[in-house]
Amino acid sequence: MAAQELDRVASLPGAPSYSYAFKHYSGYVTTDERLGKALFYWFFEAMEKPDDKPLVLWLNGGPGCSSVGFGQAQELGPFLVKKDVPELELNPCQLAVPGLSSGCWIFVHEHVLRNRSTGRQFHGWFQRFPQHKMKEFYIAGESYAGHYIPQLANLIVDENKKASRENYINFKGILIGNAYMDGDTDLQGIVDSSWHHAIISDTLYATYLRSCNFSAEVLSRECEVALGQFNVLHDLIDIYSLYAPNCERGYPDFNTSFSPQIGPTTSRFDLLRIPMGYDPCTQTYATEYLNREDVQRALHANTTGVSYPYSLCRDSINVLWHDSDKTVLPIVKKLAQEGLRIWIFSGDTDGRIPTTSTRYTLKKLGLPIKEDWSPWFTHKQVGGWSVVYDGLTFVTVRGAGHMVPTSRPEQALQLFEHFLANRNLPSKPF
């Protein structure tokens, strides 16, 4: 418990004075002492009865983006960055429900989550917090975490089958939003959705249909040129939230000097560039706040004194990393057969991993439908639509972008609560 207490956050610069009704901890857990690797985390206990609440690990995507800078600071953490000033405010949606969204949350800095071996090393966190070891454990996240989460879940499921009681993880389920899971269907869905949303012309769309085979190892030259035109069009808007404004202040430098290389070719995955802002400048505020030296000291971060600034994402991770599978659908199908609780959700105004892509991907799984397409409600309004497959539930969130908790916080909280409680979303107004 001594190491745990050393990670306790005693005070946090710029945070509201009444923000310590719950305990939170942050710091490094060594994952490979020989190579000098460590996992940076920020852990929040529930506001009420934390010992009775489930444990949730939240992962953002990228690859190479941080759930500390995105998930905690901009989406569903108890502290959100304020507009215009590098300070924090309490998340009003979290405070609306006693118990801090009904769970205890872990956010990690995913620059280190670059391969599946990190899953085994996550046991180090449980060794530091043994009182949470036997809690119900869930993994949630969004975007490229559609790869991270099934891979990590699969590893835990396999390891649990041979684990001693000491190493067993009480793993119950996964929840992924706007998930990148399958290269072929995701890209086809992006193109189709862009045409349906009147972003690309009939002529350009016909070029995709004629020249792009997204299952091919190498795309045709004509297809690559068409994708380039696609990117130019999307530079005019926020592709991650099609109907939200861009940030007039501009976006932070992600220290990206290289194009992402996810799979055998580069240009096909240029569509998975780093997310833009939603509020629309929250990522700029988050970058400013997390680069404050007093904040880093309070969070026990940057203990080695690196010379470069903190960045929400580091695209250069892809230069040395070649461990990305094109699809994780076989893993998802296996997890469904294992009886794991699996919910996939989708903000329906996201243009990067749109609802169309996810529907194509889930159709590819070939799971039988148990409860067909139907609305769910937030009070008197339709919150979205859902379909229950044999082994998987798919939920859309109406009017939400790529980062659902940012654009539709009330609906996101409702979704998380029902997932953790294993209850269907309301099928009638209330």
- pLDDT (mean) for 85-96: 74
Q: How confident is the model at residue 236 (pLDDT cuts 50, 70, 90)?
A: confident
d(CA 153, CA 334): 10
DSSP string across 270-297: GGGPPP--SSSSHHHHHHHHHT-HHHHH
pLDDT digits (tens, 9 = 90+) for 129-148: 998 988 999 999 999 999 98
List CB contacts of 105: < 8 A, sequence separation 6 or more: 43, 44, 56, 58, 72, 76, 77
Over 70: is that where the pLDDT of 13 sits?
yes
Give the residue ranges of DSSP H helices in 21-164. 92-95, 117-121, 123-128, 145-160
Over 80: is that where the pLDDT of 100 sits?
no
Whether pTM > 0.85 for this model: the answer is: yes
Q: How confident is the model at residue 326 (pLDDT cuts 50, 70, 90)?
A: confident
pLDDT at 308: 87
pLDDT at 253: 60
pLDDT digits (tens, 9 = 90+) for 343-393: 999 999 999 999 999 999 999 999 999 999 999 999 999 999 999 999 999
d(CA 402, CA 190): 13
Q: Token pair of 320, please? A: 């040395």
Q: Token pair of 64, please? A: 């190479």
Question: Which one of 143, 194, 241, 346 is the catalytic residue?
Answer: 143
Query: Into how many domains does the chain fold?
Result: 1
Q: Are 31 and 112 in contact (CB under 8 A)?
A: yes
What is the 3 state secondary structure string of 296-320? HHHCCCCCCCCCCCCCCECCCHHHH
CATH number at residue 213: 3.40.50.1820
Catalytic residue status for 350: yes
Residue 4 lies in domain: 1-430
Show the CA angle centred on residue 175, arms to residues 55 and 245, nearest 5°: 110
pLDDT digits (tens, 9 = 90+) for 157-196: 999 999 888 889 999 999 999 999 998 899 899 999 999 9
For residue 91, CA distances in Å to 280, 312, 398 come to 17, 20, 21
Terminal-to-terminal C-alpha distance of the chain: 45
Instruction: Give percent of the chain with pLDDT exceeding 70.
Output: 84
Catalytic residue status for 372: no
Region at 10 (left for phi over 0; alpha for psi -120 to 50; beta for the rest): alpha
Question: Which one of 192, 402, 407, 418 is the catalytic residue?
Answer: 402
Q: How confident is the model at residue 267 (pLDDT cuts 50, 70, 90)?
A: very low
Please state the separation of Cα 164 from the chain's center in Å. 30
Highest-pLDDT range among 91-100, 194-203, 282-291: 194-203
pLDDT digits (tens, 9 = 90+) for 283-300: 888 999 999 999 999 999
Higher per-residue pLDDT: 19 or 4 = 4
Question: Which one of 315, 350, 357, 386 is the catalytic residue?
Answer: 350
d(CA 215, CA 325): 13
pLDDT at 41: 92
Q: Token pair of 31, please? A: 């994952």
Q: How confident is the model at residue 252 (pLDDT cuts 50, 70, 90)?
A: low
pLDDT digits (tens, 9 = 90+) for 63-78: 888 889 999 988 888 8
Residue 273 amino acid letter: R
pLDDT at 276: 47
Residue 229 amino acid letter: Q
